[in-house]
Structure 1
C-alpha cells in the first residue's frame, strides 16, 4: 500500500529548519538534520518513513563550543556514511570572530548515529599541495561517491574588496582530508546569482539517468534566493571543470502562487514509494523582519521531482 498520501509537497513540512538534509540509510531508516534557528547545536531525527520524520523525536548529538573554533554560527550539517562510518559535515565560526566560518567534521563511533558517541575530527584538511582551500569563509560542504571515489564540494569566498562565494570540488583521501587540489565548479556569473551578495552555495547531488546533477543556491537568503544547476555525464572526469554544464537560468525560484519564497539549500532523497524527492527550505512570506540570516522562518519543504524527455529533473512548486 502506498504511503504517498501521508506526504504533502511544497508547503511547510518541518517548521524553522533551514538547510535540510535527509538520507535514507542502509538500515532502512530515514535520517534528518538541518540548521536550527539558534545556530548552536546539531540535531538528528530518525524514522522508518519519510512522512514520520515530521513528528520524530529530535536528538541533540553535539553542541557548540563556548569559545574558539566551532563556537558560533553552526550551519548546514549533513549526515553521510563515508568509507564505512557515519560522519557529519558542518560549518562553524568563532565567538571572537563570528565570520571566521570554516568546515568541520564529526565522526560517529558506532553504527547508530543517534546513540553516538560523536568525536570531533577538526577542520576539514586540504591536500598537502593546496595553498588555497579553507583559508577563507568556507561552508556548505556535501560529499558523494562515484565509481569508487569520494568527492567533496563546498562553497568558499574569494576576492579583494567584494567577496564572492564560489563552489569548488576535490577528491577525498579520507572522510576528513582531501586528496586533490580544489577545482572551481561555478562562480556567480549571472544577475540572478548576484542579488544582495554574489553567491553560489549549498550544493546537492542527484545521480540519475546517466548524469550527475549538482544543484546549488544563489543570491542572498531572502526572497531572491534560488536554485541553479550544473550537469556532468556519469562517464566524465568530475575534476575537469569542462565536464560540467551550467544552466543559464535558475531551475527553481520564488513562486507567489504557490506561496513559496526563497527556495534553496536542498538535498535529495526518495519518498516511501521510491520516487525522487527534493528536500529544501523556503519561506511563506515576502516581508522578512530583521536580517534574513537570523529570521527563523525558513521551513523545510518537500518537492516530488519529475523528469523531462532528456532525463533532466524538473523542479516545480506546483
Structure 2
C-alpha cells in the first residue's frame, strides 16, 4: 500500500511571484505518500476554479474561492465545498449563506453543482468532517458557528442538508495540524483526504511533468544497408507510462555494409535543440508545411505589427536560422493599412492560405482576413499572394460591426471546413473576448456558410485575469478527439493556454459538445524563465511528432518572442505543452547500443 494523502490548499495572495489573487484563491493540490512531506501538483498552480457569473448582457462577473474542503462521498466519488468570493478574494454579498459545491472522480475533472444553502449570512470559514457522518461546520460574519448533517443526492446531482438538524456551537472544531508543507510556496492548507493507490498514481502522472525514464532499441535486427538502419527507432518511455518513437544517429561510418557480419553498433538518440527565444519580437507564431517545405510566420512586434515575414526551410530546426522574406505590410493594400496580427498557414483542398487579422486604421476596427497563394505560386514571393479578403457572414455582410474579430484558425472534420476566432464587442459595453465558431465555404474560406456560435467565454479567473480574454485558438485532431487550445488573460506574464475538447464525431457547431478544462495547461509556472506563454500553433513533422510554436516573455519585462517545443501527449491522450528537452530525453540515456546482423542484398 502506498497510503496516499491529498492536500487541498490555497496560496497566500501576498506572494512575490506575481501569482495574482485570482489565481491564489483557488483549490491547489499536493500529494504525500506514507506520511512523507506533501509535494505540490500542477506546478503549484490551481486546479479548481469557480465559474464566473454571467450577467444578463452576457458579461462575466469574475469569482474566486476560499476554504476548499474535500471529502469522500463514495468509493469513486468525492465532493468539495468552498466559499465563493469576489475577484480578489473579497466577501461576495451575492453568496450569503451559500457554499460552492463540486464533485469529482479524479481531482482533474470537476462538475460545479448548484450552491448549497446552509445559512442567511456571509460565511467566513467552512470545514467538513466525514470520518463518521458527513457534517459541515461553518462560521458566519456574526461570529456564530453552526454544524449540520449533509448528503449528496445522485439522482438530482445536488447536495442537501436539513435545517432542522442545524445546531449552533460555541466554536469551530480544531484544525488538523501537522501537515508537512514546507516545500510548497505560499501554502495555506485547508483539508486532507485519503485516496486510493490508483488515484494517487494517476494524479502524479497527470499533474506532474513526465520525464524520460528509459529508451529501448530492438536487438538482433537484420539490415541490408545503411538506409534500413536509419529506419530503426528507439522507443522512449516516460514516467507517466506513455511512449514515443525517436530517431537514432548511428556511429556507422566504419561499418562495411557489403560484408555479412554481426556487429554491435553504438548510436545517440536524436534530439533537435531549440533555443528560447528562437525569434525575438515575434508573437503568435505558426509553422506550416507546403510541398515538402516548412514555413514560419508570426506577428512582428519589432515594427509594431506593420509587416508579415516568412521563413522557409527543409526541417523545423532549420527555421531557427532561415532567412526572412516580407510578404505583406501596411502599405500594400488600403484594407490592411495599419495593424497586422496573428498569421496562420492553412491548407484547404490543394491551396495554401494565410488567415490573419488586420485593420485599415483603428485598433477598434481589427477584423479577420484570408490571403490565398496563387496557383503554382511560391510562398516566399510576395507577388504570388493574392490580396487579403475580409471574412464575411452568410449574407456577405462583415463578420462583426460592433467590435473586433481576430486570431481566426481553421480545421476540417466530417469533410467540412470550420473556423474559430476571437470576437470582442465594444458597443454598447466591452464584454471581453469570446471564441466563436462557424462553417465556411471550402472554395472561399472567407465566406461563412453558417451563423456564428459562441463556444467559450472567459468564465474562470485564470482566463479573465487582468483582462477578460479568450483568443489564439488552434486545433489538434488525434485518436478520435478534437482538441482546441486557446489563450486567456492579459498578454503579459498572466497569459496562459487553456484547452477545449470534444469527441471528433460530434458537431463542432454545438457549444454543448465542447468541454473546457478547469485549469490551464501552460502557464508562467510551467517552464522557468518563460513568462506568459500562449497563442500557440502546431505542425506535424515527417516522423509524426507534433511541434508547438508559441510565444512567451524571456523575463517578465522581455518582449513577446517565439519558442518551439515538442508536444507530449499525456496519460489521457491530451496535449502537454511543458515537456522541456531535458525531460523529453534524459541526458544520461541518450547513448544506446544495438546488436545487428549486416546481410548485404
Q: Same fold (TM over 0.5)?
A: yes
Q: Corresponding residue for 2:505?
A: 235
Equivalent residue number for residue 164 of structure 1 = 432
Q: Distance in 2 between matches of 1:257 and 1:43?
A: 28
**Alpha-carbon distance between aligned partners in 2 of 1:307 and 1:184, rounded to the nearest angstrom:** 27
Which residue of the partner structure matches residue 76 of structure 1? 342
Secondary structure in structure 2 of the residue aligned to 1:137: strand
Cα deviation for residue 56 of structure 1 reads 0.9
Match of 1:12 in 2: 277
Aligned mates of 2:389, 2:508 — CA distance in 1: 27
Q: 1:307 aligns with which of 569, 577, 598?
A: 569
Alpha-carbon contact 1:260-1:282 (below 8 Å) kept: yes
Q: Which residue of 2 aligns with 1:153?
A: 420
State the Cα distance separating 1:317 from its structure 2 match. Answer: 5.1
Tell me if the contact between 1:65 and 1:71 (Cα under 8 Å) persists in the aligned partners. Answer: yes
Partner of 1:294: none
Is the alpha carbon distance of 1:170 and 1:257 closer, same or farther for their aligned partners in structure 2, counting shifts above 3 Å?
closer
2-structure distance, mates of 1:269, 1:201: 19
Instruction: Find the aligned partners of 1:218 and 1:195 in 2 and give their Cα distance.
Output: 8
**What do the CA deviations read for 1:163-202 (whole angstroms, capped 9, x no partner)?**
3100001001222201000011100001111122100000
2:271, 2:455 → 1: CA distance?
38
Residues 83, 175 of structure 1: 8 Å contact kept: no
The equivalent of 1:32 in structure 2 is 296
What do residues 106-131 of structure 1 show as CA deviations (whole Å, max 9, x unaligned)?
12113322235111142111112989
Match of 1:128 among 380, 395, 399: 395
The partner residue of 1:224 within 491, 494, 497 is 494
Q: Give, in whole Å, the separation in 2 of the partners of 1:300 and 1:56.
A: 14
The answer for unaligned runs of 5 or more in structure 2 is 1-229, 231-246, 250-269, 581-601
1:1-318 to structure 2, matched below 5 A, reads: 2=247, 4-8=270-274, 11-25=276-290, 27-37=291-301, 38=303, 39-65=305-331, 68-95=334-361, 97-111=362-376, 112-115=378-381, 116-128=383-395, 133=400, 135-158=402-425, 160-173=428-441, 174-255=444-525, 258-271=528-541, 273-287=543-557, 297-316=559-578, 318=580
Contact 1:134–1:156 (Cα < 8 Å) also in 2:
no
CA distance in 2, matches of 1:196, 1:88: 30
Alpha-carbon distance, 1:273 to partner: 3.5
Partner SS for 2:450: coil
SS in 1 for 2:278: coil
| Offset of residue 70 of structure 1 | 1.1
Counterpart-to-counterpart distance in 2, 1:305 and 1:81? 21
Contact 1:258 1:317 in 2 (8 A): no
CA distance in 2, matches of 1:130, 1:241: 24
1:292 aligns with none
Please report how far the alpha carbon of residue 162 of structure 1 lies from its aligned counterpart in structure 2 after TM superposition. 3.1
Q: Alignment partner of 1:242: what SS?
A: helix
Deviation at 1:267, TM superposition (A): 0.2
Q: Which segments of 5 or more consecutive residues in structure 1 lack a partner in the other structure?
A: 289-296
SS of the residue corresponding to residue 52 of structure 1 reads: helix
- Give secondary structure in 2 for the equivalent of 1:177: coil
Q: In structure 2, do the counterparts of structure 1 residues 65 and 279 end up closer, same or farther at CA, with 3 Å as the change threshold? A: same
Structure 1 CA distance, aligned partners of 2:566 and 2:412?
A: 23
Shift of 1:315: 2.1
Q: Aligned-residue CA RMSD in angstroms? A: 2.2
The offset of 1:274, in angstroms, is 2.6
- Check the 8 A contact 1:121/1:176 in 2, yes or no: no
Task: Return closer, same or farther for 1:45/1:243 CA change in 2, 3 Å cut-off.
Answer: same
SS of match in other structure, 2:407 = strand
Displacement, 1:223?
0.1
Change over 3 Å in CA distance of 1:257–1:122 after alignment to 2: closer
Matches of 2:330 and 2:277 in 1, distance apart?
27
8 Å Cα contact 1:102-1:138 kept in structure 2: yes
Number of equivalences: 307
